[in-house]
Amino acid sequence: MVIVIQMAFPPESANQIAKRFIEAPSLPSYMTRRGPYVSNDLTDGVRTLTIYEMDNARITDGLVFLSDMMTVYFGVPGYKYAIRQYLETEEALKLLGM
């Protein structure tokens, strides 16, 4: 299972987002980050996608940590985010009883 965070913000907020990213708390040792990957979108401006990997036993801890971490960006004009969990295929199949 992984946790994916997507962020969006207008280009004029990019400097504020970058400064807060540098100031954000360090990841706990049980978590690995891939990204953030950055793209531009005419509708939402700058979009990022970051993937966080951890053992399933730590997923609750990871969600709490990442939810708290995202508050670092509160107050930046136009900032939006979504946190989602994604299952590996085997995990999803187990939920279907397969």
pTM assigned to the model: 0.88
Q: Looking at this protein, which amino acid is placed at residue 93?
A: L
Q: What is the pLDDT along the chain (98 residues), one digit of tens a residue?
A: 899 999 999 999 999 999 999 999 999 999 999 999 999 988 879 999 999 999 989 999 999 999 999 999 999 999 999 999 998 888 878 878 88
Residue of 30, 29, 32, 36 whose CA lies nearest to 70: 36
Q: Looking at this protein, which amino acid is placed at residue 80?
A: K
Q: Domain 2-95's class? A: alpha beta
In the chain, where the domains are located: 2-95
Residues in the chain: 98
